Amino acid sequence: MSALLSIEGLGITFGGLKAVHDVGFSVREGEIVSVIGPNGAGKTTLFNMISGVYQPGAGRVSLSGEDVTGMRPDLLARRGLSRTFQNLQIFQSMTVLENAIAGYHLRESGSVLADLLGLPASRRRALTAREGARALLARVGLDRAAEREAGNLCYGALKRLEIARALALNPKVLLLDEPAAGCNAVETEEIDHLIAEVAASGVAILLVEHDMKMVMRISNHIVVLDHGEKIAEGDPATVSRDPAVIAAYLGTEADHADG
């Protein structure tokens, strides 16, 4: 299978500091690739470069073989790349359902004039999006909160809402930035299943996550970053035995767990 998302030599500097340097890997259809590393290793920066939020200083991002380096996020969305955020980006004053509907923007939007006049075509598109959004909310277990204002939901629910919104785009590549952060064990397991299910449907998933158990359980492939550079990669078993990784990251985790 060919890679849906591939990254070569990606790098960026902030005021002389190399936040990310020469990182490369690829994610294939149905595969779950995790990026791990200590805080400040450059994981979110990497995500922001791939999703067009930051302009990479060097390197190349390609989506299904097409060069999309530094492309605007809305154009990437058109090409099938979708993401969630570490520090939630929810439309606070909208309802939960409207947040999910927003994910259908590309499929529901038509002419402004039709929307102003409330023409049947406009209402039909909106209705289709609404039905799809309801089904998605049911899938992430938020259907009963559909009419609530999103700003009032708890953190774990908002995390799932973001995933639902990202899925609404029907993406080929999905970037998840710490989807389980702030979630309890039960919620984490639910998110686990959801991610596995989405991957099984053929979506390429790139994951940043601090919950090591979750990462080890669901990843096909792991990329380890430290100080903005890739220090190791491989399947979960290989990576967890890698001495460089243990020194940089897992070691501190293990100490913590033992203590």
Partner 1 sequence: MKLTPKQATLLVLAALIALTPFFFPSGYYYRVGALIFVNGLAVTGIVILTGYAGQVSLGHAGFAGIGAYACALAPVHLGLHPALAAVLGAILSGCMAWLVGRPILRLKGYYLAVATLGFGILVSMVLNNERWLTRGPDGIDVPDLGLRGLLKGWGLDLSNGEFWYFFSGLCLLVGAWLALNLYDSPTGRALRALHGSEIAARVVGVDVARAKLQAFVISAVYASFSGSLLALQNKFVTPDVAGFMHSIEMVTMAVLGGVGSVLGAIFGAGILTLLPQALTVFAEYEQLLLGLVMMLVMIFLREGLLPSILRKIRGTGE
Q: Which residues bind partner 1 (CB under 8 A)?
A: 51-53, 72-74, 77-78, 82-83, 85, 89-94, 98, 101-103, 105-106, 108-110, 112, 115-118, 122-123, 125-126, 129, 165-166, 168-169
Given a contact cutoff of 8 angstroms between Cβ atoms, the answer to whether 182 and 87 are in contact is no
Question: Cβ of residue 229: shortest distance to partner 1, in angstroms?
Answer: 26
Question: Cβ of residue 124: shortest distance to partner 1, in angstroms?
Answer: 11
Q: What spatial distance separates the first Cα and last Cα of the chain, rounded to whole Å? A: 43
Distant-in-sequence, close-in-space partners of 195: CB < 8 Å, separation ≥ 6:
32, 176, 179, 205, 207, 218
Q: Judged by CB, which is closer to partner 1: 117, or 257?
A: 117
Q: Provide the residue type at 237 as one letter.
A: A
Q: Judged by CB, which is closer to partner 1: 18, or 172?
A: 172
| Residue indicated by tokens 């930035």 | 177
Question: Cβ of residue 108: shortest distance to partner 1, in angstroms?
Answer: 4
Q: Judged by CB, which is closer to partner 1: 169, or 191?
A: 169
Q: Provide the residue type at 48 as one letter.
A: N
At 135, list the tokens: 């089904």
Burial of 95 (0-12, 13-18, 19+ CB in 10 A): middle
Q: Judged by CB, which is closer to partner 1: 125, or 230?
A: 125
Question: Cβ of residue 170: shortest distance to partner 1, in angstroms?
Answer: 11
